[in-house]
Every structure is written in structure tokens, then in C-alpha cells.
Amino acid sequence: MNDFDLQTPTQAPDLETAMKVVYQWSYGPEVDELRNLYHKATEAQWVAERDIDWDRPIDRELFATTPLGISMPVERTSYWRSLDPEVAWNVTRRTAAFRLSNFLHGEQGALMVAAQLVNAVPHTDAKFYAATQTMDEARHVEVFARYIEKLDEVQPIAPALKGVLDDTLATEDWLEKLVGMQIVVEGLALYSFRDMRALTKEPLLRDLLTYVARDEARHHAYGVQYVDRCVPRLDDARRRRLEDFALSAAKTLIDNRRPETLFASVLSIWTEAGIDVAELVACLQREMPEMDERPEKGRRLGPVQGFVIPTLKRCGLLSERVAAHYHEFLVANLGAEVAGRDVEDFLRSVPELPEDTATWVLSELR
């Protein structure tokens, strides 16, 4: 107990948040889909210590299949293939530790936002659900921290992610918390978890991502079902504010024109690990035309276009006004071929989310 103290050296400075707390005196079920989701969540609880075999060491060879999480096929270049095996292992390990660290910090943000939602949302069913989510997020923090400890070390949070978490924690509007966390952050995270889970063959990582993604599928469903119910009751000004909040969060996390993006951090990790980034990019440009780049349909859209934007559309938060902004930043980052020639073209390309998103995510995890 000697090193226990009220003020710890690792904690961040206090963040001022403005949040109103709502008592609700009606305790019976009112929003059936949220009550059902709450029941499902209580049944689906798992125990990280008991249900995952933590004694397994990380399998280095299989770990090499873990995706780097960038949209360029650098692993297929001759430059990458000719890397010294020790350098290759180090780059993959450090890059994965960076991604997993940001998953981890994001989970801490989700833990705190979920706990805030218990206080701030007005409906009992929504408070109950947020309580189960709080427990889920604590478990997610636990498992990511434990895996990173085996792999490497926890790296600092990316400034872009910290900014979005701060804004979501600080807003006094509980609907903005729901949209920022459940739709944008969780949407992007769920997409990345699924992507990493689908490609990595490292057994321990696959196991924990499966458990986590099952929970996240419910969290996303909670956001969709609750926000979808609320939006038609909002006046124009509040709906516009919600649309802008989602747009700004998505842009902060994804827009590569900003100096402090996740991608910029990955490049600096590579340089540190001994990669000549300029040479790698030149090699990629030379060899790209010969690569058979035909990823299966759907994945090409990426997390914002393939997941976050369809969710916003479902919830009634994709007006033409805000669609023009999404189109602008997607064109700047991905080109008009992927983002659409104009706003109409872009809107036409937004896929419909299946009715039951939680079941859909689970079916992809089998």
C-alpha cells in the first residue's frame, strides 16, 4: 500500500465537464428495444480473467498477419518484403501497439461517457443500458491493457482522439454524447476491430477482439435505436447542432490534411523503427500498377463512408447540408472515385444499414 496515493503521477489534469443529471421516477419498461438490449447485455456478460486463456504467449509468426491499419498495401512491396525479419517484427509490433493503445484509451473514454450517460439520459431503459455498457467498457480497458503489456508498451493517446473524447465528455447535451461516442467513435472502433479480427491469425488477439466486438455491436445498436427515436422530436436548430457535432468528430479523426492525424503518428513510428518512409512510398508507387488491387466490395468504402455515415443516415442526421461537408473532406482524402463525383453521387453511394445491426456484426464475426 506504500505507493498508493490520492494524486497519481500517471493521471491527466482535470477536465471540466458540464453535465446535467436527470432523475427518472418512472421505472417500468417504456422503450422496448432498449429494454431488450439491456436484457441481452446482462446475459452476454463475460469474465476476462476466466474466459480468455492469458497464459498463451503472443505467436510472433502469426502476429505478422495483423493489419497495419493504413489504406495502402505497403506490406506487399518489395521494400517491405526485403526487410530484416527483426525490423519487420518491430515495425508490426510497434504499429499494432500504437493502434491497440488508441483502442485502449478510446475504451477509457467510452467507459467514462457510458457512466455519464447513466446520469444524463432521461429514460430509465436508456439508463439501465448505459449501466451495462459501463461494465462492458471497463472489461475492454482491462483486456486491451493486458494484451499490450504482453506485446510492447502502452503508447500515448493520439491528439485527435483525445480531442474528440474531451469534446464528448465535456458537452452538456446528452444527445451529443450519444452521437459522438456511440455513433462516431464506436462506429470507427467497431470497424477497426472487425478489420483487425478478420485478418489477424494471432489466437489471443483474435479471441479478445471477438469478445470485444460482440459487446461493441450492442453499443452501436443502442446508439442507433435511441438516437433514431429522438431525432424526429428535435427542433431544427438542435438537429443541426447534432449533425455538426458528428461531422466535426468524424473529421477530426479521419481528415489526413490535419497535421496531427493517426496516420502521421504511424509514419513517425516507422521512421523510428528504421524504415526509410520516402523509399517505401517510392517503391509503393512503382509497384502499385502491378498489384492486383481488387479488395472485395464494401471494404473499399472505409469506416466513415461504409459505417459511420450510413449510421447517421439511418438516424436522420445526414441532411444535404452536412452531406456536402462529408463529401468535401472525403474527396480531399480519398479522391472523387471513392467519395463520389458530386454530393448527389455521394449520397447515392451510402449503403443502407441492415435493420438489426447487432446481429449483422455478429454474423460477420463467425
The residues that touch Fe ion, with contacts defined as CB under 5 A, are 107, 110, 137, 140, 186, 216, 219
CA nearest 186: which of 163, 218, 156?
A: 218
As measured in angstroms, the least distance from the Cβ of 226 to Fe ion is 14
Whole-number minimum distance, CB 333 to Fe ion, in Å? 25
What CA–CA distance (Å, rounded) separates 216 from 212? 6
SS3 323: helix
Helix (H, G, I), strand (E, B) or coil at 14: coil
CB 163 within 8 A of CB 180: no
Q: Which CA distances in Å does 70 have to 133, 201, 273?
A: 29, 18, 17
C-alpha cell belonging to residue 40: 441481452
Candidates 136, 333, 171; CA nearest to 242 is 171
Residue 208 or 318 having the CB closest to Fe ion: 208
Q: Which is nearer to Fe ion, 30 or 51 (CB)?
A: 51
Residue 186 or 207: the one with the smaller Cβ distance to Fe ion is 186
Q: Which is nearer to Fe ion, 110 or 330 (CB)?
A: 110
Cell of 57: 504467449
Closest to Fe ion by CB, 207 or 216: 216
Least separation in angstroms between residue 127's CB and Fe ion is 16
Q: Which one, 188 or 309, has the nearer CB to Fe ion?
A: 188
Q: What is the torsional sign of CA 3, 7, 11, 17?
A: positive
Q: Taking CA 314 as the corner, what is the angle to CA 310 and CA 315, rounded to the nearest 5 degrees?
A: 120
Query: Quick one: 94 or 140, whose CB is closer to Fe ion?
Result: 140
Q: What is the CA radius of gyration of the chain?
A: 21
Q: How far apart are CA 366 and CA 363, in angstroms?
A: 6
The overall longest dimension of the chain from CA atoms, in Å, is: 66
Residue 54 CB, shortest distance to Fe ion, in Å, is: 19
* Minimum distance, C-beta of residue 254 to Fe ion, in the bound complex (Å): 19
Q: How far is the CB of 49 from Fe ion (least distance, A)?
A: 18
Query: In the complex, what is the shortest distance from the CB of residue 315 to Fe ion, in angstroms, rounded to a whole number?
Result: 17
Contact between 64 and 92 under an 8 Å Cβ cutoff? The reply is yes
